[in-house]
Amino acid sequence: GQQLNQSPQSMFIQEGEDVSMNCTSSSIFNTWLWYKQDPGEGPVLLIALYKAGELTSNGRLTAQFGTTRKDSFLNISASIPSDVGIYFCAGPNTGNQFYFGTGTSLTVIP
């Protein structure tokens, strides 16, 4: 099956620091999605990317669709305690199947 590799697996940062995480694929994606999951909840969409090279922001979050179409990046600026959670990248293949990365667990220390 499709492989979406996320790194890092986990991060422990101080409140106010910036965060960077990335996702790489073994094949080309035409859409990249970034989700956040809080404990006991379903994933919630943060940012959607549809074009190679696209840079999109949502508040303190910025995501980029890599120019090779095999990677994507998510940055969080000035982290706050409510940023805690697991962040997933995801994308559909050409056959309508969605694949998710293994997630990056973020802990923000006040």
Partner 1 sequence: NAGVTQTPKFQVLKTGQSMTLQCAQDMNHEYMSWYRQDPGMGLRLIHYSVGAGITDQGEVPNGYNVSRSTTEDFPLRLLSAAPSQTSVYFCASSYNYRTSGRENTQYFGPGTRLTVL
Residues of this chain that interact with partner 1 (CB under 8 A) are 1-2, 4, 31, 33, 35, 40-45, 48, 50, 88, 90, 92, 96-103
- Considering the complex, state which of residue 18 and residue 27 has its C-beta at the smaller distance from partner 1: 27
- Residue 101 CB, nearest distance to partner 1 (Å)? 6
- Considering the complex, state which of residue 50 and residue 81 has its C-beta at the smaller distance from partner 1: 50
**What does residue 54 show for φ and ψ, rounded to 5 degrees?**
-65, 140
- Considering the complex, state which of residue 84 and residue 92 has its C-beta at the smaller distance from partner 1: 92
- Distance (Å, whole) CA 75 – CA 57: 9
Query: How many residues are listed for the chain in this entry?
Result: 110
- Angle made by CA atoms 44, 48, 50, in degrees to the nearest 5: 155
